[in-house]
Amino acid sequence: MSASTTSSLDAPTLDRLRTDIDGLLSGLEEGRDEPARALAEAFFRRSDPVYLQGRELAAQLKQWQDLARWVELRPAGEIKVRVFNPHVEQCGYFLARTVLQTDMDDQAFIFDSLHTLLRTMEIVPHRCLHPIVRIERDGAGQAVSIDPLPEGSEGEAGLESVMHFELPLLPEERLPEIEAAVSERLRAIQAMVADWDAMRAKALWLAAHLSEYTITGDQAYYRNLSLVQKFFHWLAADNYVFASYAEYLVEPGVDQPTLVADSVLGQARQANS
């Protein structure tokens, strides 16, 4: 559970809450329900105890069981997103809120990026949970085991970011728009992170080779060139978030520069795919 919120409950109440949660989890059938138990444990541990005390724990468990069934199959590299209004008939529980859930390989920027996206859509989440779990999958992407409290660093192979947002209740007709926007944003972030090293290498190459592209021997030109090279070195020294890179060919007499197709990296690559 979140260590930052446990002080708002007295120790006996907190102990009873933990005992109740452990009892719920131990009631799941070993083997068949193991992935659901592990994922439920990850979410219970990341939930505000005060919030849990005000909700029926059995209903919370059904919520995490439904989520576990959804994340059970995910082929390598796939980004899963769903936005829905929960109903008992559909997913086993009811919640008077709209739910946004995602599952993808763990990497930087995704949580803050989604918060920013939701703000631009004038949506303020009531609740956000973001456990990092280790999911072992077979060749088809089927979950074999889930470690709810893994050790490891961000972006390490096998770690998955499973996010759960509870939003104000939204009309059904708006949900596809939100799902599409979230999917697009996460794909852009995925491309940015995948191409990060390549974009940084481009910055360092420019810093080293700009002097080879001289157009004048003027002292002022070389002074400015030196400043630009220093700037590229500064960018590459972890002072900048590389989002996109592209090269353009500028030809005499041609008004518009021409994009060099195989030069595109990061979010620009995703946008052009």
* pLDDT tens per residue, range 185-195: 999 999 999 99
Per-residue pLDDT at 147: 92
Per-residue pLDDT at 29: 67
Structure tokens at 239: 């002072």
pLDDT band at 31 (very low <50, low <70, confident <90, very high): low
Mean pLDDT of the chain: 89
Tens of pLDDT along 230-272?
Answer: 999 999 999 999 999 999 998 888 889 999 989 999 998 888 7
- Cα 97 to Cα 84: distance, rounded to the nearest angstrom: 9
Judged against a pLDDT cut of 90, whether residue 156 lies above it is answered with no
- Cα 251 to Cα 194: distance, rounded to the nearest angstrom: 31
Amino acid of residue 159: L
Per-residue pLDDT at 5: 42
Largest Cα separation within the chain, whole Å, is 79
